[in-house]
Structure 1
Amino acid sequence: MAESLAPMPTKYTDVKGYATYYHYSGATTLPDVVPDFSRGRRILFVHGAGSNGHTWHRQIDAFGAKHSPIALDLPGHGRSAGVEGLRTVGDYADFVAAFLEMLKIKSAVILGHSMGGAIAMDLAIRHATRVEALILSCTAPKFNIAADRIEALRAIMMGRAPQAFNTDGYSPRTVKENFDVVREGWMEQIKTDPRVRYTDILACSQVDLRDAIAKIDKPALAIAGADDKGTTPADAEFIAGKIRGASCKIIADAGHYIPRERPAEYNAAIEQFVSSLAS
């Protein structure tokens, strides 16, 4: 399992009144100076519900020498300002567009995981000029979220139940052979307030992009874990079938958290896709 050998450079920038924290690769700069993102492809990593940008540390390490990877903490997540998440996936997409504007990035490859994938799709529909290509990871245009899961997160938010630390979403092989990855996920989970995790799930439960994604006219890759029961391989295949020219990659022995469960295979699929893009 690849690990970060040195701390990733990080910065804050103001986006829509939120102090927004982000990770990147390359030379550090003064606080008010935007880093150099001219190396290779600009790849913006958008995390999932209740998560944060540090979850992408394996990808920042893997792509930093050749490309310009960036991973932000959405409002209320990780170290970014805010005590609540934004209300809708569309609000998050608008925020990501504003984040790119603040970094003086006209367009980028947008890689979204889970909720981040829905954000990426919405961004490509309504802010198409900001998107060079899409990598849609463990996501769906309409999420299948059980009512009891929403209620469980509400109970945690209200202080009526403790945070749940379980192996849901991981491949059985990961749980058996690499439990440190599960523990890492738990540590990332506690960096974001339960209120935000709850509002994120509400936002995900309300989104439905099944028809709208047919309007997307960008190169796209949908990635799914073969063992993911939430955002399934069928969801990835649906996306690939709706977006003209999109491709689909199913990774064996992976669940919902492929970026840390199977980073070598995941990163290889991303590199192959990014390398195929026209200059």
Structure 2
Amino acid sequence: MAERFAPMATQTKYTEVKGYATYYYYNGATTLPDVVPDFSRGRTILFVHGAGSNGHTWHRQIEAFGKQHSPIALDLPGHGRSAGVEGLRTVHDYADFVAAFLDALKVKSAVVLGHSMGGAIALDLGLRHAARVEGLILSCTAPKFNVTPDRIEGLRAITMGRAPQAFNTDGYSPKTAKENFDVIREGWMEQIKTDPRVRYTDILACAQVDLREAIAKIDKRTMVIAGADDKGTTPADAEFIAGKIRGATCKIVADAGHYIPREQPTEYNAAIEQFVDSLKG
């Protein structure tokens, strides 16, 4: 007979956070609508997605870590299936929202893994909501993003119907484009789950944030991961973060661009597992 509390498949659920019906993914037993799932297995790992993305982009990680840990991936407001037609205005606002999300799920603290914009959100959590953070994993991110005026204007044109959404290979490793194009198609399918207006407001939030000096105050175990072929949030950005946060480690993944979680999931997941297992207590 199977163990009564054996991990189950990925589940989804809604919870109310700051007036937003917030959709999230987890691994474990289903519960009634008003009952918070059990997140006591191993470490609670909170996955925070990037600009214009959604929680389903973490499906490989939810499945991989659900066997020994309690992974959770939310759709931020306006993203995926969560309520809202625009993103929040600042990275600070998103960090406060994520802290409130943990409150709604009765999670005191978690290992926080943030990707791209989610990485900046994770950094801000480490600064202003440090008690909620057991460790930080920062993926393809920067304390200050290189967002050009042309990129902002291009996304604004899409929101106004003056240009179509762009479906291209930007952000991916050349090896991915050549040998694993299905991964890029998957990324395009995730892209259309979120309104272009949300991607636009997210990029505005990214353009405003500058945590380059503040992150030296973070006192949490930290690992920074970057793709060797990422031209947006570069290996130099990762090394800068690791150099600022005391004791932080940095891992550069070959043959990966900005989307390591799906470009190189085996190596990515192994690095996460090693980091999580290294945490004491």
When the two structures are superposed, what TM-score results if normalisation uses the length of structure 1? 0.97
Equivalent in the alignment of 1:34: 36
Q: What residue identity is the alignment partner of 1:43? A: I
Mapped to 2, the partners of 1:163 and 1:224 lie a distance apart of 26
Equivalent in the alignment of 2:123: 121
User: Which of 53, 78, 81 pairs up with 1:79?
Assistant: 81
Detail structure 1 runs of 4+ shifted over 4 Å in the superposition: none
Give the paired residue count.
Answer: 274
**Within 5 Å, which residues of 2 pair with 1:5-16?**
8-16=10-18
Once the two structures are superposed, what CA deviation does each residue of 1:74-125 show, in whole Å capped at 9, x if it has no partner? Answer: 0000000000100000000000000000100000000000000000000110
- Structure 2: segments with no counterpart, 5+ residues: 1-7
Q: CA RMSD in A?
A: 0.7
Identity %: 85
Q: What residue identity is the alignment partner of 2:243? A: G
Mapped to 2, the partners of 1:38 and 1:26 lie a distance apart of 10
Equivalent in the alignment of 1:173: 175
User: Is the contact made by 2:140 and 2:238 (CA closer than 8 Å) also made in structure 1?
Assistant: yes
Mapped to 2, the partners of 1:160 and 1:167 lie a distance apart of 22
Q: Report the 3-state secondary structure (helix = DSSP H, G, I; strand = E; otherwise coil) of the residue aligned with 2:153.
A: helix
Equivalent in the alignment of 2:161: 159
Mapped to 2, the partners of 1:212 and 1:107 lie a distance apart of 21
Mapped to 2, the partners of 1:115 and 1:109 lie a distance apart of 17
Mapped to 1, the partners of 2:183 and 2:156 lie a distance apart of 26
Displacement after TM superposition at 1:8 (Å): 2.0
1:88 and 2:93 are equivalent in the alignment: no
Equivalent in the alignment of 1:133: 135
Once the two structures are superposed, what CA deviation does each residue of 1:184-225 show, in whole Å capped at 9, x if it has no partner? Answer: 000000000000000000000000000000010000000000
User: Which of 195, 200, 214 pairs up with 1:212?
Assistant: 214
Q: Report the 3-state secondary structure (helix = DSSP H, G, I; strand = E; otherwise coil) of the residue aligned with 1:33.
A: coil
When the two structures are superposed, what TM-score results if normalisation uses the length of structure 2? 0.97
Equivalent in the alignment of 1:105: 107
Equivalent in the alignment of 2:260: 258
